[in-house]
Structures are given as structure tokens and as C-alpha cells.
Homo-oligomer: A and B are copies of this chain.
Amino acid sequence: MKKLKLLDIASALGISKTTVSKVLNNYSDVNQFTRIKVLDYVRKVGFEPNRQASFLRTKKTKTVALILPRLENDFFTKIQEGILKVSQENDYSLSVATSYDCFETEKKLVSQFLNRNVDAIFLSISHQTINFDHLIEIQKQGKILVLFDKIEKTLDCPKVIIDDRKASFIATEHLIKNGCKQILHFRSGYKPQISIDRYLGYRDALNKYNIPFDKEKVIVCEITDEKNGFSAAKKAFELGMKIDGLLAGSDHAAIGAIQFFKNKKLSIPKDISVVGFGNWKLSKFSTPSLTTVDQSAIQMGEEIFKIFLEEKLLESRDESPSNKTHTLSANLIVRESSTKNL
């Protein structure tokens, strides 16, 4: 029960494998009767050409690679889901890997994927990445690079991000309109662009409503998980801050903080209104349910793959990569944790 080869088809039909290949690749110099004969036979025996051989010849693998900083994260999972949906529809294969937010791992993965001749690499840069030579190498080798989420502006490739600054602005504005005047903000590190943008959006809103900015009210949590959310809230408390609102860096951090506030017998949202970030599944089911920013990650994933397809078109016309930054808008999902007047 060996696998059929091009040659088997050809000799069965009494023609050359060249012609069979031409039919399968829609060459025009094939008589329509032979074409039909081949197509019928191919369909009948269910022949599919060995991809490996054609990859070697054409240098195209119909495979795209996705490198995520981590997997245990709804946001990235959804991005994968979006990419997978569209890539599968287009008969592309998707290879997934995680950098575990480690620079060395990221470099190694990129090099491995290049060796495997993937057509494109979709990447959210790791926290630790400090140098971008490995990404430039991707383009040097004629592969398509699409950055998303944690991007690097100086690189000459299409980028997809959420408008975090605006989202953060809207979330903060929502708190203000609900009567908050002392708004705490948990941000992740100083470097990540998303952290910067969210911080700026927060300040934009304070500015617009003439609320004085208080440096102390911005607390850095390198990783915005429950534990850090909890301890950040504790820290604010111990510093004796007066607080009536919180814009957290993630739903998890928000929930950690709520946990702390509850322990202190504070009522959410009456005493402190809270807004998270991410619209993770748990945000809907926590008590109180959490107002949060939905990042429409699935849509982002779909967008990423579509951009890749466009880039391929550009490339086929010998044009250079687009370099455009695609900004998707996030939207606020208002739930119990921030609606004092309910």
C-alpha cells in the first residue's frame, strides 16, 4: 500500500509526469482533454502530491509560525484561535511555539522556523528581548514577519496592536464618570509598549477631567497576576492612600486586588470601583462581575493572517513590506465592579 507518486499517475495514463504536474499546477499548455483525464483520475485515486518534494523545489511551505510569549493566557490563546481559523480556511498549516518570555528561546525558535522554511512568522516579542537582529534576519531571508501585541516600532514590517491608550482612556473616563477621583493604576514594567500606552491613556483621562495626577498612585507589577494584584493593593493600602477607583493592568490583577479589598471589608463598587483589562473568561463570573476592556483578540488573530496574505501579494509584485501599524479598537464591557449607581 505505497503512496502514489506523480510518475505512477503519469504511467497509468500513458503520459509524462511533467504533464500531470502541469495540470495540478494550472499550467496553460495542457490540452483540455488531457487535463480532464488527469483530474478525473487524480480524483478517483485520491492522489495528493508529496508536499515535501514540492516544498524543496518551490521554497514555499504553506506553513506559518506563531511564537507566543506564553500559552496560559486567554489573550494569546484567542489570538491563536483567530489565526488558526483563517489559516485553516486557506489550507495553511500553523506551527505554534512559546518563547516563555525568554530572549534566547525566542532567537532559537526564529532560527529553527527559518530553517524549516516557514512562509511567515507571527510574533509577539518577549519581555526580555533587547536586540532585534533575529527579526531582521527573517526579512533578509525573504520571509514575512508580522508583529503583534508587543511590537517594536523601529522594525520595518506590518504590526497589529490594540489601541491600548484609547482603551485605557475610555476605561479611566468611565471610572471618572462614575464619580471616581482617586484612581489607582497598576501597570506592568516600564518598557513594554502596552504598559506605556495604558499609562498614557490613564493620564489622558485625568487631564481631560482636570484630575491632578499623583505619581504614587501608579504601581508597577512586572507580572500582572492575582498575587501581584493583591500585594499592589496591599501596598497602596499600607501607604495610606485614599482610593475610590482602580484601573488594573489585567483582569487577574483586578481580581487579586478585589480579594484584598474584600478582606478589608471594602465594598466593590461602592467604596472602590474596579476596571480590569482583557475580558478573560473569569471576569464574567467573578463576584462582583468585572468591568473590563475586551481586546477582541480573536479578531486580532484573524487580522494577522489576513495581513500576511496581503504581504504575500505585495511580495509577488516585488514591493517592499508594508510597515503599516494596524490599530484595532478595544471596547469597554461594563459590569458590576464599576457601576456605583446600580
Contact = CB atoms under 8 A, between A and B. Distances in A.
Interface string A78-100: 10110010001001011111100
A171 to B, nearest CB: 20
Contacts of A312: none
Contacts of A53: 56
A5 interface: no
A81 B74 CA distance: 12
Contact of A96 (B74, B94, B98, B111): B94
Interface of A: 1, 3, 48-53, 55-56, 59, 61, 63, 71-72, 74, 77-78, 80-81, 84, 88, 91, 93-98, 109, 111-113, 115-117, 140-141, 255, 280-282, 284-287
B1 A140 contact: yes
Nearest to A85: B98
Q: Copies per complex?
A: 2
Contacts of A3: 141
Contacts of A141: 3
B98 A285 contact: no
Contacts of A51: 115-117
Nearest to A66: B96
B50 A115 contact: yes
A282 B287 CA distance: 11
Given A71-B80, A74-B281, A287-B287, 7 more contacts: A50-B56, A52-B117, A63-B116, A71-B81, A77-B77, A282-B282, A282-B286
A94 B93 contact: no
Nearest to A113: B93
Contacts of A281: 74, 280-282
Contact of A93 (B1, B48, B50, B95): B95
A94 B67 CA distance: 11
A216 B84 CA distance: 41
